[in-house]
Structures are given as C-alpha cells and as structure tokens.
Amino acid sequence: MRRVVWLLVFLAGCMRGCNLPSCTSGGGSGRDPSCTSTEDCEDGERCHESICQSAESIRSSERCLHTQECKAYGACRPGLTRSFLGANSQPTCLAERTEDCAASEVCKTQGRCELLWTTGALRDGFCAATTAKACASSTRCATHDECVLDETQKVCTRAWTGCVEDKPIVGFEAAMDLGAPWHPGEIADAAVACQLEDAYKQTTSYVRVGKTCRRGPSLGAKTPMVFRTKLAPKDRIEVAIQADPMHGTSRDAGYVRAEYTGESVFTSGTELPRLTCTVVSAEAARANAAGMVTRIEKGFVRLANERASPDYLIAEPAEAGGIRRVMKEAVVWLGSDPQVAAMQASLEAGLVAWRKKLDAAIGQLTPSNTGPKGSTVQFQGVVCGDALKARTKKDEVGKDDCGVEIAVKAKEKMTVGAGISDLSWIKIARRGPDATVVETDVIDVHTQSKPAPVYALTLEAGEEAIALVVPRTFLPLTNARLVGSAGKTRLVLPLDR
C-alpha cells in the first residue's frame, strides 16, 4: 500500500508546472541536482545550465529552445503536460524562467516580460506584465495605445479616462453626400464623417480625438459615424473596439486609428479594421441636414397637436423622442448654425406646452380606490433612503429617493407582486411646471401573517397585502398622485400628505 502512495505522489509531481530535469534527474533520490561541472554529476549525466541532466533531458531542452512557443511566449523549458495520475502525460515546453520571458515576442509586443506562477498545487508559469515601464516600452503601446499596467490582470491595457457616455457619437445614412475631396488644413469646427470596416458584430466602441473621448456606435461590418471636432494636421482619430474604455487589451479588444493629413479623406490603411474619415464641407453638411430639418419641422406640428387626457397620461409624447433622434444628427451636420438654436428652442417650447396639457389632465383625475379584479387599494405611506435601498437591494438609491406602499385587499383570488400584470398599470404622476408621469415597478409584497417581504403572494378573497411600488425614475412625491390607466382611469391616490 505504501508503494502505491509513493507512486501517486511521484506521478502528481511530474505534471505540467514541474520541469523535466527535476522529474528525471534526482527528483526522488534526495540528491541535490545542481552542479558546477559534469564531475558533480552521476554517470550518464552532464552538467547543463547548472543542473545534472541526462542526455535525453538535454536534448528535450534544446528542442524547446528552437520552438515557436519559446520565441513567441517564453515557453522554452521542457516539462510534462497534466494528466490524470500521469496516465497520459506528454512532453511539452513550458515557461519556467524570467530570462526566457524577457527574450520573447510577448515581452516586446505586450510588455509581458516577467515570469509569474498560477496558484495551486500544480503551478503553471506564464509571462506577464508587471511594470509600467514594460508596458510603456512595448510595441502595442505605440501601435494600440496599450500603455497602462493593469495590476490585477497583469496585462498592459488601454485606459481612456473621462469618456462621455451620455453624448454618444451618432451614425448617418449611407446616402449622405460627403462632398468632393478638398484640402481643409486646420479647422476649428469640422464635421467629420468616418466609416469603420471590421469583422465585429454589435460591438461597443469608443472614439477619441485628442484628449476628448466619447461613446461610439455599436459596430457592425461597416459602421458610419459623424461628429464635430477641432482638427489639425497630424491629429489622430482613434476608435477603441471594446466594451469598457478602461479595459482594452490584446486579449479582448480591437483598435484602429487614422492620422489627419490635412486632406479631406484620410485612412488608417488597407488592413481590417480600417477607418476612413472625411472632413465634410459646410455646404455639403447643410445639404445633408436640409431633409432632416424638414422632418423636424413637421414633427413640431404633430407635437403641438398632441392631446393629453385622464386616459392618455404619458411623460412625453413619442413625437418628441422622434424629433430628438433626427435633431441629434442634424445638429452635428449644422454645427453652430443659428438654425440649431431655433430648433432646440422650438422643441423646448413644445415640451413646455405638453407639460401644461399633462398638468391639466392630471388635475381632472377623480380619486378612486378601485384596483384590479375589483380589489380596493389604499395609500399606506412612503419608504425612503436606506430603508428603500434595503428593500430594493440597489446601491444607487439615494437618501431622498422614495417608494410608495399600497394596501391591496382582494375581492376574489388574485396574485400580487413583482412582475404580476395585475399591478403593471400603476404609475406616479406629478403636477406643476414639471408635470410628468413615471412608470413603476412592484418590488415586494407582504401580509400580516407573512410579514417578511417576498417577490409575490397569492391572496384569497378578503385577504390584504402591502405592496412596495417604486418609480423607475425617482422624483419628489410632494404634489404627486399614484394613478392607474388602462383605457380608463382605475386608480388615483393623492400622495401629497
């Protein structure tokens, strides 16, 4: 039995992470395999790299030194692959020395110059980036802007800070006229239209010009984008093809850049991903915006004709969203044209008019406590700040954010709780100059007999439950009402108490 145990220990030692000489030369004899000359070694062994090794071990070492894995990844030492109890162990080449990492291609290209070990009983060595200097001197720092050390992942990363998420760069229609080639040189406010050709599908991007970084479009095979920027010869337009501007590495991201030459068309080159950009003349840009302006003006007319009523309570007409979408691109084409300010003023005037209509419609609501399936619904109180955070389990809940508790008494068997359509019609409406309507979610529900809040409960006729209703967009509850509308008003509960 003791022999079997020692056999298992020996096999476990001679797996991946254990270099071959230590497994074959004195590894189980208790003898120190280090040496200064062959005279220190037993018969049949030679002193090679300060270790007594057999001729076969030396040949294995020399084979590894001439492999592509050694040159590329620093895997220059012979070893054995992992296997179950050693049954299928195979010779392989492993990263075992920092010197090999320092001489590898991944050191030059990615700053991965230091040998590290994975944790665990069976260790694997790998070449990693461990210093900011290694990242700064790597070729991918120069070509892909991967210049910052990620201490956690031990890789060099592209770290763009201050990217503006809420003002993304917009796309444009393929039919847009980008104008004839010209030589704009240095330009203070350029409309730049770019197309990114790549092999990515629906991938998030970020675009940087100088020190300004903005969220780019979701990328497809050929993605057009247009933005305004100050531009001078030798400025770069960079696109990071990654989900997070703080984490762009050689493992999981793409990158492309084009340097502005002073000509209206400039490109990153011929390889994919390929970025081709055009500085659009003011005349061509205005022509592109002309059709959009017409659509926007027609949208203003439709917005003015929108009617609010107690049965039609929405925070903002869909027409306003459509105007915004078209205007976003039109503004890029027009730049600082006075027409932009006029359009924006018209949109705000239309929304002010809508809020007045909405305020009047909210005022016409008749208080009622009739809920789904003939149930009765009563306002119980508000839950705010830390208490609300504990119930919703959302860290973004602030000290002034509140939800509403309502008591629902069943007239017949019904289910009350999160995700139940019986309460999906509940909204919170607020009157006044900023009159609005906010959609809500039911977070939890409880009863006297079951006081611990749960996701949902089924009530029998005559039973009562307390449900927590939380607005999807938090707003002050003073001068607000809890409303229900599904073709007709079913519930209006004043909350300003």
Q: Which strand (E) or helix (H) includes residue 213?
A: strand 212-215
- How many Cα atoms are found within 13 Å in the side-chain-facing hemisphere of 139? 6
Nearest to 469 by CA among 434, 411, 425: 425
Handedness of CA 302, 308, 312, 316 (dihedral sign): positive
Structure tokens at 331: 């503004």
Distance CA 77, CA 60 (A): 8
What is the token pair recorded at 178?
């980008």
pLDDT attached to residue 51: 75
User: What is the pLDDT, as a whole number, of residue 32?
Assistant: 64
- Structural domain boundaries in the chain: 1-92, 187-243+256-280, 283-361, 372-494
Assigned token pair, 188: 């203070």
Grouping H, G, I as helix, E, B as strand and the rest as coil, residue 69 is: helix
Residue 80, pLDDT score: 66
Distances (CA, A) of 375 to 89, 253, 378, 416: 71, 55, 10, 11
Q: Of how many residues is the chain composed?
A: 497
pLDDT for position 476: 85
- Report field, pTM of the whole predicted structure over 0.75: no
Q: State the CB neighbour count (10 A cutoff) for residue 160.
A: 20
* DSSP symbol at 374: G
CA distance 138 to 455: 53
Residue 485 pairs in a beta bridge with 489
pLDDT at 174: 73
Per-residue pLDDT of the chain (497 residues; tens, 9 = 90+): 333 333 333 333 344 444 444 443 334 444 567 788 888 788 777 787 777 877 777 776 778 888 899 999 999 888 766 555 555 556 788 898 899 999 999 999 999 999 998 765 455 788 999 999 999 999 999 999 999 999 988 999 998 988 887 777 888 877 788 999 999 999 999 899 999 888 766 678 899 998 788 988 877 768 889 999 999 999 999 999 888 888 888 877 689 999 999 999 999 999 888 999 999 999 999 999 999 999 999 999 999 999 998 888 899 999 999 999 999 999 999 998 899 999 999 999 999 999 999 999 999 988 888 888 889 999 999 999 999 999 999 888 999 999 999 999 999 999 998 888 778 788 999 999 999 999 999 999 999 999 999 999 999 999 999 999 999 998 888 889 999 866 566 788 888 75
The residues near 6 (Cβ < 8 Å, ≥ 6 apart) are none
Q: Which helix (H) or strand (E) holds 111?
A: none
Task: Give the pLDDT score at 25.
Answer: 38
Rounded Cα distance between 497 and 360, Å, is: 20
Residue 281 is predicted with a pLDDT of 94
Q: Both tokens of residue 191? A: 């409309």
Residue 425: predicted pLDDT: 81
Short-list 380, 370, 441, 425, CA closest to 406: 380
Sign of the CA dihedral with 322 first, then 326, 329, and 332 last:
negative
Give pLDDT, residue 12: 38
Please report how the helices 318-334 and 282-304 are oriented relative to each other, as an axis angle in degrees rounded to 10.
160
Q: Estimate the share of the chain in helix, then strand, then coil, as percent rounded to the nearest 5.
A: 30, 30, 40
- On whether the 372-494 domain is CATH 2.30.29, my answer is no
Helix ranges (H only) for 263-314 are 282-304
Q: Which residue bears the tokens 């461990």? A: 130
Q: In the prediction, which pLDDT does 120 show?
A: 52
Strands 464-471 and 402-409: antiparallel
Nearest by Cα to 114 from 165, 149, 157: 149
